[in-house]
Chains A and B, each alone.
Chain A
Amino acid sequence: MIKIIDYKAGNAPSVLNAVTHLGFEAQLTRNLSDLDGASHIILPGVGSAKATMESLDESNLLEALQDAVIGKQIPFLGICVGMQILFQHSAEGDADCFAWLKGNVIKFDSSKVRVPQMGWNQVRFIKDSAIDAENDYFYFVNSYYAVPEDNDILWGIADYGGDFAAAVCKENIYGMQFHAEKSGEAGLALLNGFLEIK
């Protein structure tokens, strides 16, 4: 069963709508026992990295996710803030994050661009992954972005006052800075690709 992590500030219902529309069955989940038997895990994100980490901690999901994603290698997709907390640290609220990926999350330079970035931006996919991805436009809402230490995990790049990591992947872990669930048919195609990973 596909599990979508639900917490109050997240937009889990939007992700569930998209997954259901694609013809998959999925469950919103708030507690760790629900992660048993997960085939795929999606962590949607809205709000700050700090609030997200705190919310996962309150629901006792930190260790459960660690076990599922790192221990059991279940395919995992983090969206927006859900991607940012895969890294070591976020400047947003000075938050320590999962550190499954090396690197940190920093803020866009508001002297160069309007912050938050809000709207459709073009993503160029620069490496192959288990998900077929074509260069296209996706919907972003973010003030912060990840700076991976290891360039090998860079999957997609977009330009907002300079190139930034729009998508990353490493083994069973995928991160999308944009809202795939709100990026029209291009976004749905990527979600579908993720959900089809065996």
Chain B
Amino acid sequence: MLTKRLIACFDIIAGRVTKAVQFQDNIDVAAADELAQTMYEAQIDELIFYDITASSEKRPVDIETVKKVARCVFIPFTVGGGIKELDDMYEALKAGAEKISIDSMAVRNPQIISDGAKAFGSQCIVLSTQVKRTPSMPSGYEVYIDGARLATGLDALEWIKKGQELGAGEICINSIDNDGMLSGYDLELMKLAESSLSVPLIASGGAGKPEHLKALFEKTEAQAAIISSMLYSPRMESNYAVSEIKEYLIENGICMRPTRV
């Protein structure tokens, strides 16, 4: 049986992982390749890197960091930030990434989703989106871009369905309201998203303890969950080990890839 996936997510500035709360007050954590290797050895299932200043600095994604990571990490990893065209995707894939995440750029130019899917296959294209509770929207959630600063007027559910139609192979939804709050995933949002998609959903925003993952996987059909603070945030009194999280989930009947001793 296919297992649920735990994905460690890194927000990267100048080759270093940082941790923010609701997209602000980033503090330094570690060098990206070192933390990636630590997570690999801890047997995380997958990694995602967001080069969070690439877009605003109008430069392509940090390929050198991607290459460094690819040499020491032998699990799938996704790269996002600063991806504007097919060449950017090709460079990141050639550097060793499995998948490309597109977010704000896809809202500005949805065709990049279909172009990417045609060139490299749907399995390479992850549509990531930041959404915020907005009662006036049909689904109750609105899409935000540019580091969650700019409201788009797009309904979250409409947007992810369109992304899937255009060829995205996975959809990653981050709840802006829950991001960094350590109070659990927005289960209502994830349920809504998962039931309207046929491609896998990656849930993001709010995980603070293993119980939050249990609730996500029991109450929704999300295939994967992003965790970051739990694993490495210096803001937490103590972090969780990957093995500890997985053991807890397996004990609770959730299908996971067990950690090997």
- A-to-B contact residues, CB < 8 Å: 8-9, 11, 13-14, 17-18, 20-21, 46-48, 110, 114-122, 136-137, 139-141, 159-160, 179, 181-188
Contacts and interface: CB of A to CB of B under 8 A. Distances in A.
A183 B75 contact: yes
B1 A118 contact: no
B41 to A, nearest CB: 9
Contact of A119 (B43, B71, B94, B223): B223
Contacts of A160: 1-2
B93 interface: yes
A46 B2 contact: no
Tell me which of B45, B95, B121 has the highest count of chain A C-beta atoms within 10 A of its own C-beta. Answer: B121
B5 interface: yes
Contacts, number: 94
A185 B121 contact: no
Given A17-B96, A185-B260, 8 more contacts: A9-B120, A21-B71, A115-B198, A118-B170, A119-B224, A120-B3, A120-B257, A141-B123
Contacts of A119: 2-5, 45, 200, 223-224
Contacts of B122: 116
The 9 closest A-B pairs by CB, nearest first: A137-B257, A120-B257, A141-B123, A120-B3, A47-B121, A121-B2, A182-B76, A119-B2, A119-B5
Nearest to B76: A182
B217 to A, nearest CB: 13
Nearest to A81: B121
Tell me which of A114, A115, A121 has the highest count of chain B C-beta atoms within 10 A of its own C-beta. Answer: A114
B96 A13 contact: yes
A46 B94 CA distance: 12
9 contacts: A8-B90, A11-B93, A18-B74, A46-B120, A116-B123, A119-B200, A119-B223, A137-B258, A188-B74
Contacts of B260: 136, 185-186
Interface of B: 1-5, 40, 43, 45, 70-72, 74-76, 90, 93-96, 98, 119-124, 169-170, 198-200, 223-224, 257-258, 260
Given A110-B198, A119-B3, A120-B257, A14 B45 contact: no
A46 B200 contact: no
B2 A117 contact: yes
Nearest to A137: B257
A119 B223 CA distance: 9
A149 to B, nearest CB: 26
A39 to B, nearest CB: 22
A122 B169 contact: no
B55 to A, nearest CB: 25
A117 B5 CA distance: 12
A174 B45 CA distance: 25
B6 to A, nearest CB: 10
B199 A114 contact: yes
A183 B74 CA distance: 6
A159 B2 CA distance: 8
